[in-house]
Chains A and B, each alone.
Chain A
Amino acid sequence: MPNNNSRRQDHFVAALEDTPIAPIDKLDESQKARSTWADAWDAMRRRPMFWIASSLILLIIVVVLFPTLFTQVSPTVCHLADSNGSPTGGHPLGFTRQGCDVFSRVIHGAQASVTVGVVTMVLVTLFGGTIGALAGYYGGWLDAIVSRVGDIFFALPLVLGAIVLMQVLPARTAVSVALVLALFAWPQIARIMRGAVLSARNTDYVTASIALGVSKFKVLVRHVIPNSIAPVIVIATVSLGVYIVAEATLSFLGLGLPTNVMSWGNDISQARTSIKTSPQVLLYPSAALSITVLAFLMMGDVVRDALDPESRARR
């Protein structure tokens, strides 16, 4: 090389074959680069908690989609003669006060509870994620508005806000409950997405892409969002459980799903009248609800540990 600088360097750097460091330091360039997601997958599948959580979630999905696989008994055909009856053949968990089959109601109740949770989570993630990403990436007036609006919504705890809105809403359906919950929950995801995008925006690869002439929007979609989506995925997983609890709490207060809709929250609320005589009627839907929430919490924990290299190193 004719460059003066590099010739001077030659004095100080030993020839590669003289140093024993070379084989240690050597990069195997033929090997494919591993993505964060591949690393995370390797970290996850070594943990038993991941397999417990994912099999529970799989089971819940199957119950929601095909309840008749688990029970042939109709949850709505009830005989008052069976009121608060103990378990008999074909009715493993006994009967409710109205004489309905508890097992069948627990199985069929999954649909409404999980649907509200999932719809809320999808709405919150799409809306909050988009708003947060745009606010963090473009900054300026959009960011100022989003941050201030977020502050206001933060002063309203999720269920408290939902209580007021559900109180005045004329029609209560699974969709309206999900919409109301999403309305009060989106600022949390927006804030997290905004923070992640802010730190991704100032990295070298973003500067490099912009310098190469890639449009600003394309950089956001191709580079910034994929590199800041991890914390959003973690929070979304955990919040799915939170939303299911929120729906159940609203139903328990009489402000959630209408009483003719079968859901765990409604069943728990109705079972409280006979808590002294037949507590099991209350306990089974409660257990189903708790196990569902637990599954998503565990999944969130595992995903967070896998996606956060720092906590992986610490463990």
Chain B
Amino acid sequence: MLWYTGKRLLQTIPVFFGATFLIYFMVFSLPGDPIAALFGDHPPAPAVIDQIRAEYNLDKPFIVQYFLYVGGLLTGDLGTTFSGRPVIDVMVKAFPITFRLAMLALAFEAIAGILVGLISGLRKGKWFDSSALVVSLLLISVPTFVIGFVFQLVFGIQLGWARTTVSGDAPWGELVLPAIVLATTSFAYIVRLTRASVADNLNADFVRTATAKGLSRRRVVTVHVLRNSLVPVVTFLGVDVGSLMVGAIVTEGIFNINGVGGTLYRAINLGEGPTVVSFVAVMVIIFMLANLLVDLLYAALDPRIRYAK
């Protein structure tokens, strides 16, 4: 396990440099002057341009610029927003809210998704299964921002069950509705994934053996079928962190939550390029770490991964 952990950690390093290089390259070496873009139609005085160039290290060779940028990323120096606040301060304040939102969403999609998927898989071809399949297909095809608006409209405005916007410190109760919105697409994927894998495992030899040696159906399903069906679901949850972050931009934007996504949403709307880039870079790093964590968890659950070449 230790060997696998080390190997997996080593693999993350080139991906980290590659991804941050890609982001940096996109933003600062594309045709078009990023400094001019800051000012819009009226070009600033040459002295001002030089000063900003020096501030962003743009007067140095490209590769030096990149390493200065990565150094900043690693030491928490992410620059300042247009209003003069350090990006890292905004991030530290916004992160716990998004973390709570994401945990709620993950809990919802995992519990509800696995439950519905399990029942579906056990009753393959029955009405519950067919309707779960149709509903999950519908949920996948409706974009998150549409679900957000519809929920806001129905539960917030028409029924009045929840607030349409979340207050500053985002108490748990107000996060429930946004979390459900954030979780819907992944919920549908988990239902389909669990269903397929439960249906597959029901025909597996070890299930027949378990039934043949006289275990109760309840025990066969919970211990043998469900546990083995969860492996692909765990893998999916890791990849899903990526879509949760994109979803968080939209969901927090709609419900006006002061999390990472909401801040990014407002930065995009205000055209605050540098803030957007720093936030996305941090999100990408979180995504990489989440994937690393899931891979390690996966290896701990399934010894075959550890020993495979």
Residues of A participating in the B interface, judged by any CB pair closer than 8 Å: 148-149, 151-161, 163-165, 167-170, 241, 245, 248-249, 252-255, 268, 272, 275-276, 279, 282-283, 286, 289-291, 293-294, 297-298, 301, 314
Q: Closest chain A residue to B23 by CB distance?
A: A164
**Interface residues of chain B: helix, strand, loop or mixed (majority):** helix
Please, could you name 13 A-B residue pairs with CB atoms under 8 Å apart, sorted by A? A155-B15, A157-B242, A157-B243, A157-B287, A160-B246, A160-B280, A164-B277, A252-B145, A253-B253, A275-B157, A293-B142, A314-B199, A314-B200
Q: How far is the CA of A155 from the CA of B129 in the complex (A)?
A: 34
Cα distance, A151 to B34, chains bound together (Å): 28
Beyond contacts A248-B143, A297-B140, A297-B141: 8 other A-B pairs, Cβ-Cβ < 8 A, are A151-B15, A152-B18, A155-B287, A163-B276, A168-B32, A252-B145, A253-B265, A255-B268
* Pairs A-B, 4 closest by C-beta atoms: A152-B18, A294-B141, A157-B242, A293-B141
Chain B, range 68-98, C-beta contacts under 8 Å to A: none
* A160 and B242 contacting across the interface, CB-CB below 8 Å: yes
Bound state CA distance, A245 and B142, in angstroms?
Answer: 8
B residues apposed to A, CB below 8 Å: 11, 14-16, 18-19, 22-23, 26-27, 30-32, 34, 37, 137-138, 140-146, 149-150, 152-153, 157, 199-200, 242-243, 245-246, 249-250, 253-254, 265, 268-269, 273, 276-277, 280, 283-284, 287-288, 291
The reply to whether A241 and B149 contact each other, CB–CB distance below 8 Å, is: no
Contact of B246 with A155 in the complex, beta carbons under 8 Å: no
CB nearest to A301 among chain B residues: B137
* Interchain CB contact (< 8 A) of B146 among A167, A168, A268, A276: A268
Q: A160-B246, A160-B284 are in contact. Are A152 and B268 (CB under 8 A)?
A: no
A252 to B250: give the CA distance in the assembly, Å: 9
Q: Which of B16, B142, B243 contacts A290 (CB 8 A)?
A: B142
Which of A156, A168, A286 lies in contact with B34, CB distance below 8 A?
A: A168
How far is B37's CA from A298's CA once the two chains are assembled, in angstroms? Answer: 43
List of B residues within 8 angstroms of A298 by Cβ: 137
List A contacts of B153 (CB < 8 A): 275, 279
**Which of A151, A165, A254, A255 lies in contact with B18, CB distance below 8 A?**
A151
- Nearest residue, chain A, Cβ from B32: A170
Give the residues in chain B near A151, CB-CB below 8 Å. 11, 14-15, 18
Cα distance A248–B15 in the bound complex, in angstroms: 29
Q: Complex Cα distance A279/B288, Å?
A: 39
| Residues of chain A with a CB closer than 8 A to B15's CB | 151-152, 154-155
Q: Which B residues are CB-close (under 8 A) to A154?
A: 15
**Given the contacts A156-B22, A160-B242, A286-B149, A249 and B143 also touching, CB distance less than 8 Å:** yes
Residue of A with least CB distance to B12: A155
In angstroms, how far is the closest chain B Cβ from the Cβ of A191? 13
Most B CB within 10 A of own CB, among A153, A164, A165, A268: A164
Residues of B within 8 A of A272 (CB): 149, 254
- Assess A249 versus B145: contact at CB under 8 Å? Given A157-B243, A294-B137: yes
A167 to chain B, nearest CB (A): 5
B146–A290 touching, CB < 8 Å:
yes
Q: How far is the CB of B306 from chain A (nearest CB, A)?
A: 20
- Are A155 and B280 in touch, CB under 8 angstroms? no
Given contacts A148-B18, A157-B243, A275-B149, contact A163 B284 (CB under 8 A): no
List residues of chain A with CB within 8 A of the CB of B284. Answer: 155-156, 160
Kindly provide the distance from the CB of B37 to the nearest chain A CB, expressed in whole angstroms: 7
Contacts of B273 in A (CB 8 A): 167-168
- Determine which residue in A158, A249, A268, A291 has the highest number of CB atoms from chain B within 10 A of its CB, and name it: A249
Inter-chain CA distance A148–B277, complex, in Å, is 23
Residue among A148, A155, A255 facing the most chain B CB atoms (10 A cut-off): A155
Q: Are B143 and A245 in contact (CB under 8 A)?
A: yes
For the complex, what is the distance from the CA of A154 to the CA of B11, rounded to whole Å?
13
Determine the chain B residues whose CB is within 8 A of the CB of A253 once the complex forms. 249-250, 253, 265, 268-269
- A156 to B137 Cα, complex, angstroms: 26
The residues of B that contact A279 with a CB separation of less than 8 Å are: 153
Bound-state CA distance A5–B176 (Å) is: 78
